[in-house]
Structure 1
Amino acid sequence: MPIKVDPQLPAAQKLARENIQNMEGEVSAEQKKLSLRLLILNLMPLKETTEEHLLRLVGNTPLEVEVVFLRTKSYQSKNTSAAHLAEFYLTLEEVRDEKFDAMIVTGAPVEHLAFEEVAYWPELVEIMEWSKSHVYSTFYICWGAQAGLYYFYGLDKYPLSEKLFGIFEHSVSDSKASLLKGMDDVFYLPHSRHTGNHKEAIEKTAELEILAESNEAGVALIRSRDNRQVFITGHAEYDADTLEKEYMRDLAKGRSIAVPQNYYPNDAPSKSPIVRWRSAAHLLVSNWLNYIVYNGSTYKAEQTIGKP
């Protein structure tokens, strides 16, 4: 089913060539029954690339999803043009009175900083607090997941001895969970991070449940027991070449970077990467939107912007 975004968005134009339809104009009352409003807080530097990654996953669901992109007002992106942000993004002030069925908070390359040292941390806190009354369910990715776990549950991140970089095998902890319907007992996810979260601390937090983890990558998927928050420590949204681009970028800058694990055949960068995570990524996002957001959201009937 289609997504609904500005047809001039570059990512929408590219995805149209992949048969991901962009819905234009008003929808009928019958269509509204199957439609959701999704807010995406994009904190990644290459915002246009992240838009494409996320819209590809969101577009693979039987629901019609209206997507609104959110940016921080307190920090100006250095890698995305001001014109792009002005045309396709809103700030919290512009959506403050609106309700959304779902929200995605992306990762961000600020792991080396304490949360309070991040330039836009006060604004992110305000957005997360606002989401408690204006968003039914929020999906937090990588650093975004760490930020959510820290703000809502006081669970701090810790530095890893070396960068976790590659594709890792994960085991399902609760096959009956709605988020994992149809998921294989073992699935793969990309990771690219310098920090992690302690499993023991999460287990001691009564409001949280671990749904999937990895012997190498640690805890991967966590949900709040009321399904209002989902945290993923990896990057299910990554394209086939995302880790390769990161690897080549760091090599070109002379940084110490290992070949991403389990990514190239025989760990040989001369060969094309093996995509092992695409089906799990689509299924995870589809399950979240279908079973958790659509079935649970009290906001989906409130399609008029600004209604309390």
Structure 2
Amino acid sequence: MSEKVHCLIIGSGPAGYTAAIYAARANMKPVLYQGIQPGGQLTITTEVENYPGYPEGIQGPEMMIDFEKQAKRMGADIRYGIATKVDFSGSVHKVQIDEKDWIEADTVIISTGASAKWLGLPSEQHLNGYGVSACAVCDGFFFKGKEVAIVGAGDTACEEALYLSKLATKVHMIVRKGEDGMRASKVMQDRVKAAENIQIYWNAETDEILGEKKVEGVRIKNILTGEKQEIPLSAFFVAIGHKPNSDIFAGYLQLDDAGYIITQAGTSKTNVAGVFAAGDVQDKIYRQAITAAGSGCMAALDAERYLTEKGIH
């Protein structure tokens, strides 16, 4: 079965839903497929306090329901389904849904997001949203005046450790390698080492996150000696990277070394005319709901201009 649409949106986080709102209002009759995680990463986020317009804060899943309702009210056609294959070789872009039906689209907006990398501990998943987080900028504020831990060794981990050090009384930083094996740039390493309330544990790995209903501590293990120690704390942040959900676009779209879709500066345009990317699948710097929504708006406006220039109505 094949279907033809003006605007196909793949993914349903803040970027996808915002693109759908703008595209629907521009009479582009957008069709949005929600993907493997309807609502994106915000559906595994509890309290969102930094998105404008919600003075009392809002639960992540509830916020995504609001986004979806608004997109539907504007006339967006929102469907369940996962994009499993694409063919961007011709002037009409083809996307396969659930390994069977093909959609032909004049424009495609990719907002498939990125998935945080996790350590793979059962306790990590059990306590996710209850003190375990993959975003210090999103959730650090809730642990002001408390002790927290962060695991990671790159620039992002260092940036988040420094961010947390301004809020928390103490930051326990867990680094798997020794001092000479830290991936972060020298300047970031120096800043972390100079911070009085950041304690670095070298050659350490997370053995277990402790707590039943919320994070109460972490047990770490020294890789060289096997020695274990328990540290009481209120939050555990994972900063070992993100993986953009871009695998099916490889071969057609330009990706960077980490797999993020490359867009032209100041736009949502990819290297394929009529294909646009928004949100975390192309943003490895900010990764916030508000920036994702903004880039979703850009993608819809770019797609509308593309259709107008092509004389497609």
Answer yes or no: same fold by TM over 0.5: no
| Bigger Rg, structure 1 or 2 | 2
**TM-score of the two chains, using structure 1 as the length reference:** 0.30
**TM-score of the two chains, using structure 2 as the length reference:** 0.29
